[in-house]
Structure 1
């Protein structure tokens, strides 16, 4: 059982790394066009906050046997910080820039407030679980645009796919380690990734393909 627990931790690390790197194509587009267009910055801010809290929760003196949680989330925090800064620099509208800056300020304040000298597993676990659910739910901010435009252009497939894979991996890791602070939020992430994001992508990708075929493109 311990070996299986470790293996799912490794698989979870790999899936999470791909999740953190999946927006690279999106940010290449943002940098080339020097505009964030209609992309949402919410997922990157929420992921940054989740990574910081999860990395803290996984430290041995907070939560034993969860060091794999800390390693990947520490790396994820560094990657997501770059995304947030790029998004802030190239925000196409003043309101988007202000919104992103406000979220970034909230990340800093919450992180500093929670990282006290005498952390407790229960307190950190609840905080990490809450923001993990927020991270998994954050791509849904673009769902309305997808439904209105019947286009998945601004909902990257790789992001949705790795939300599902990452959530599933850490859900099983949490179950095997009898850790509800990992299994519950990641189970929610797996369900959100599968039912709402991948399903929505499949529906409107076909819709767009049908339209292109009808137009002879």
Structure 2
């Protein structure tokens, strides 16, 4: 029985690594576009900085444990790939966006993570330290999984899934399932609990995709053609000539679509990696 549980834990951990690996690579097409255009355009660095912070936090937690090696492997890769994304972003970002990114990096990575490590090292010890860091990981992961609510709200408002890639949603859902069972089999609820929320949001995203996938893109122009009006006569008064109304063509972009485009989200969805 013990061997079976160990094999299942290893299987879910490996599957979690594989799926999370693909999720970490998901932004590559986005950065290829950035490279081609030599500009970050409207993209933001926040998801990648948060992703790096999350990976570092889970590595620190895993180092305080004794049986979560697979948590270390995937988040080590996460640290590397998120760092590459951030460096790439900083290279092509305009000055204002670059400065904002650097401020976020200093605040979250150096100050935030640094304080967590220092305080837990000096103010806690042994099992207590692991419990504290585990709770920090749990709360932070829950906050990260709540982040896609903005995208879901936009999908419902615009009735369009053009900015919600279904393959990424499926991958994130599968990742949540794998890491949930990995944490459950290890009796580590700091790993398991956040992924329940990740699974729920993943299912909601897929339901919305099925509901709205056949809708036309919200940024489609509505063209109004008033043709075949060559001449409309208004009753003549003294010395009044006939008024000719020529063909009218108008292209109207709905206000709702304009707002949706202005608030276009990043292509990247944060992966907690656990």
TM-score, normalising length: structure 2 = 0.66
Measure the CA separation in 2 of the matches of 1:69 and 1:160.
21
Greater mean alpha carbon deviation, residues 156-165 or residues 9-18:
156-165
Cα RMSD over matched residues?
2.9
In structure 1, runs of 5+ residues without a counterpart are none
Q: Which residue of structure 1 lines up, in the alignment, with residue 68 of structure 2?
A: 66
Matches within 5 A, 1:70-109: 70-91=72-93, 94=96, 96-105=97-106, 106-109=108-111
TM-score, normalising length: structure 1 = 0.81
Greater mean alpha carbon deviation, residues 129-138 or residues 184-193:
129-138
- Give the CA deviation at 1:155: 3.6
Greater mean alpha carbon deviation, residues 136-145 or residues 161-170:
136-145
Q: Which has the higher helix share?
A: 1
- CA deviations on 1:100-157 (whole Å, 9 max, x unpaired) are 3333221222222222346611111011122222333334444455555555444443
- Asked if 1:192 is matched to 2:196, the reply is no
- Cα distance change, pair 155–46 in 1 and its aligned pair in 2 (3 A): farther
- Give the CA deviation at 1:40: 4.4
Matches within 5 A, 1:1-217: 1-59=5-63, 62-91=64-93, 94=96, 96-105=97-106, 106-116=108-118, 117=121, 120-146=129-155, 150-195=159-204, 197-208=205-216
Q: Give the number of the structure whose alpha-carbon radius of gyration is greater.
A: 2
SS in 1 for 2:67: coil
Greater mean alpha carbon deviation, residues 69-78 or residues 145-154:
145-154
Measure the CA separation in 2 of the matches of 1:157 and 1:35.
26
Measure the CA separation in 1 of the matches of 2:162 and 2:95.
19
- Cα distance change, pair 8–88 in 1 and its aligned pair in 2 (3 A): same
In structure 2, runs of 5+ residues without a counterpart are 224-274
- Give the CA deviation at 1:16: 1.0
